[in-house]
């Protein structure tokens, strides 16, 4: 039961806030009430006691002047209308007069008051809580001797009554506080907790995969901002989810073609009687397709790792020209084979950049490989440098077919190819430029492309430069 209550408090912000508020209020109320209570008590009691003593004293003073029947009756009559009760004793302690009936409750005080060795004025009883009255005595003096005593009683019931009223008032205020705090709690829970609950519900939905769930944002406070952030996040997730699904579909498609070839040709080799040459031809196709598959998987893996930020990235100072000339010697022979002329303008000074030499090589191989692949026989490929003090731009231009204007924005997306049907002939998977883009991003550079259909394509790679030497 108690555990359940704790669990309830722990899991509800509104209850926590409310309890905190309530305890602060109650603490303040308690302190204030206590102060008020003791102040009231001190003033009220000291006032009553003082009056009691004073009155007894003034009666005693009057009687000290005229200690006779007439004065005694006068004093007694004076107190008959008041709350007090006066009793006048002679020197032996016998009652000479009283303003009210003397009950057994009064007796012990009268006996005590008659004793001589007391002070002249003395409060005999001050306990207002348990005793029925406060009592004061004052001596009546004649010729320097005590000739009688005035005993004054004041009932304590009115004091207790007043204190009771005060306590009731304080309790009432406390009660009202509790009601107010409960009201605040209710408003708070509407203002703060309700939207939070709504957010909890929606994020739960999102976690379950229903990305189209949105929170209604009303206001501009922190809670509304949080709601807006969650909406934004869920939109983002929805987008990525869609992209992922499309990507998976694309990959499935990419894998299907080579696998169909592999299955088909291997079945032929296994099931039919073939000549040695035919066998060799078919196994050659199988080999080509498995190589293609291997490359596809490798590229995908590479790209995924780069996207996750989980890759080794060396950072060293290097001459970009060296990287490019390395790549050029690598692709030269395949260019020659296709009769493509390679024009290279070496820079006047060496561009020094900071980066990973292997990744940069891969970047330029991908671009040059594309240029070679998509440029028809006897075309031209040109590599030049440009830039300024802190950037270098490498241009790679080809005299190929160019890229249609409306396809240009997409060619660096993974698996995107302009000519989808040509894939088998050219063997591309559409990952090369996606990898290029990642590599350039890793180097805090930019890559873009300009192309005129029928004329050719130019790729630009702009990288931060350390200096020209």
Binding site residues, ligand ATP, CB under 6 A: 299, 366, 370-371, 374, 398, 400-401, 403, 411, 416-419, 428-434, 457
Cβ proximity to ligand ATP: between 172 and 404 the closer is: 404
Binding span for Mg ion by CB under 5 A among 105-113, 368-376, 393-401, 455-463: 368-376
Smallest separation, CB 420 to Mg ion (Å): 14
Cβ proximity to ligand ATP: between 262 and 363 the closer is: 363
Backbone φ and ψ for 423, nearest 5 degrees, come out as: -55, -40
| Residues in Cβ contact with 436 at an 8 Å cutoff, skipping those fewer than 6 apart | 363, 366, 367, 412, 447
Within 10-29, the residues that bind Mg ion by CB under 5 A are: none
Binding partner of residue 431 among ligand ATP, Mg ion, none, CB cut-off 5 to 8 Å per kind: ligand ATP
Residue 429 in the binding site for Mg ion (CB under 5 A): no
**Does residue 151 sit in helix, strand or coil?**
strand
Binding partner of residue 351 among ligand ATP, Mg ion, none, CB cut-off 5 to 8 Å per kind: none
Write the DSSP assignment of 313-382 as a string of letters. ---EEEEHHHHHHHHHHHHHHHHHHTT-EEEE---SSPEEEEE-HHHHHHHHHHHHHHHHHHSPTT-EEE
Cβ proximity to Mg ion: between 350 and 373 the closer is: 373
Residue 139, beta-bridge partner list: 149
The answer to whether 109 touches 85, Cβ cutoff 8 Å, is no
Cβ proximity to ligand ATP: between 430 and 445 the closer is: 430
The answer to whether 29 touches 173, Cβ cutoff 8 Å, is yes
The answer to whether 202 touches 213, Cβ cutoff 8 Å, is yes
Q: Which of 154, 156, 370, 458 binds Mg ion (CB under 5 A)?
A: 370
Residue 398, beta-bridge partner list: 381, 457
Cβ proximity to ligand ATP: between 67 and 460 the closer is: 460
Cβ proximity to ligand ATP: between 65 and 419 the closer is: 419
Cβ proximity to ligand ATP: between 158 and 409 the closer is: 409
Smallest separation, CB 338 to ligand ATP (Å): 13
Binding span for Mg ion by CB under 5 A among 275-283, 303-311, 316-324, 426-434: 426-434
Cβ proximity to Mg ion: between 402 and 432 the closer is: 432
Largest CA-CA distance found in the chain, in angstroms, rounded: 160
The answer to whether 446 touches 440, Cβ cutoff 8 Å, is yes
Residue 432 in the binding site for Mg ion (CB under 5 A): yes
Binding partner of residue 429 among Mg ion, ligand ATP, none, CB cut-off 5 to 8 Å per kind: ligand ATP
Smallest separation, CB 379 to ligand ATP (Å): 10
- Dihedral sign, Cα of residue 112, residue 116, residue 118, residue 120: positive
Cβ proximity to ligand ATP: between 134 and 415 the closer is: 415
Smallest separation, CB 315 to ligand ATP (Å): 26
Smallest separation, CB 381 to ligand ATP (Å): 9
The rounded distance, in Å, linking the Cα atoms of 236 and 234 is 5
Binding partner of residue 79 among Mg ion, ligand ATP, none, CB cut-off 5 to 8 Å per kind: none
Binding partner of residue 75 among Mg ion, ligand ATP, none, CB cut-off 5 to 8 Å per kind: none
The rounded distance, in Å, linking the Cα atoms of 463 and 394 is 9
Cβ proximity to Mg ion: between 211 and 459 the closer is: 459
The answer to whether 432 touches 422, Cβ cutoff 8 Å, is no
User: Would you give the end-to-end CA distance of the chain in angstroms?
Assistant: 80
| Residues in Cβ contact with 143 at an 8 Å cutoff, skipping those fewer than 6 apart | none
Smallest separation, CB 337 to ligand ATP (Å): 18
Residue 400 in the binding site for Mg ion (CB under 5 A): no
Binding partner of residue 374 among ligand ATP, Mg ion, none, CB cut-off 5 to 8 Å per kind: ligand ATP
The rounded distance, in Å, linking the Cα atoms of 259 and 220 is 55
Within 67-106, the residues that bind Mg ion by CB under 5 A are: none
Smallest separation, CB 299 to Mg ion (Å): 10
Binding partner of residue 403 among ligand ATP, Mg ion, none, CB cut-off 5 to 8 Å per kind: ligand ATP
The answer to whether 96 touches 114, Cβ cutoff 8 Å, is no
The answer to whether 353 touches 392, Cβ cutoff 8 Å, is yes
Q: How far is CA 116 from CA 85, 103, 109, in A?
A: 22, 23, 14
Would you tell me which residues interact with Mg ion (CB under 5 A)? 370, 432
């Amino acid at each position: 039961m108690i555990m359940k209550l704790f669990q309830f408090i722990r899991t509800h912000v509104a209850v926590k806030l409310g309890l905190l508020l309530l305890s602060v209020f109650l603490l303040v109320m308690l302190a204030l009430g206590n102060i008020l209570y003791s102040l009231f008590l001190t003033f009220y009691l000291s006032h009553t006691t003082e009056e009691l003593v004073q009155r007894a004293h003034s009666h005693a003073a009057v009687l000290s002047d005229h200690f006779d029947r007439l004065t005694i009756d006068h004093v007694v009559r004076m107190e008959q209308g008041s709350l007090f009760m006066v009793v006048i004793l002679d020197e032996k302690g016998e009652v000479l007069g009283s303003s009210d009936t003397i009950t057994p409750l009064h007796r012990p005080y009268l006996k005590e008051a008659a004793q001589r060795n007391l002070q002249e004025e003395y409060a005999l009883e001050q306990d207002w809580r348990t005793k029925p009255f406060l009592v004061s005595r004052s001596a009546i003096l004649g010729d320097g001797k005590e000739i009688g005593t005035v005993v004054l009683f004041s009932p304590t019931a009115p004091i207790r009554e007043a204190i009771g009223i005060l306590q009731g008032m304080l309790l009432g205020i406390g009660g009202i506080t509790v009601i107010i705090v409960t009201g605040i709690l209710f408003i708070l829970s509407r203002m703060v907790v309700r939207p939070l609950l709504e957010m909890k519900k929606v994020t739960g939905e999102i976690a379950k995969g229903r990305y189209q769930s949105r929170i209604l944002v009303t206001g501009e406070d922190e809670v509304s901002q949080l709601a807006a952030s969650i909406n934004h996040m869920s939109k983002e997730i929805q987008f990525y989810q869609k992209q992922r699904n499309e990507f998976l579909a694309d990959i499935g498609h990419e894998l299907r073609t080579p696998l169909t070839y592999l299955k088909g040709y291997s079945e032929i080799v296994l099931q039919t009687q073939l000549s040695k040459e035919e066998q060799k031809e078919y196994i050659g196709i199988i080999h080509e397709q498995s190589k293609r598959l291997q490359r596809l998987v490798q590229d995908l893996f590479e790209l995924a790792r780069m996207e996750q930020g989980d890759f080794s990235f060396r950072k060293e100072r290097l001459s970009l020209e060296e990287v490019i000339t390395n790549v050029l010697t690598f692709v030269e022979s395949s260019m020659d084979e296709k009769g493509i002329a390679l024009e290279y303008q070496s820079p006047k000074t060496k561009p020094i950049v900071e980066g990973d030499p292997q990744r940069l090589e891969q970047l330029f191989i991908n671009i040059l490989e594309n240029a070679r692949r998509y440029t028809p026989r006897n075309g031209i490929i040109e590599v030049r440098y440009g830039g300024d003090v802190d950037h270098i731009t490498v241009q790679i231009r080809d005299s190929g077919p160019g890229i249609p204007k409306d396809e240009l924005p997409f060619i660096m997306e993974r698996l995107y190819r302009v000519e989808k049907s040509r894939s088998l002939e050219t063997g591309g998977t559409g990952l090369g430029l996606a990898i290029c883009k990642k590599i350039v991003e890793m180097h805090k550079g930019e890559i873009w492309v300009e192309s005129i259909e029928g004329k050719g394509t130019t790729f630009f790679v702009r990288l931060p430069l350390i200096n020209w030497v």
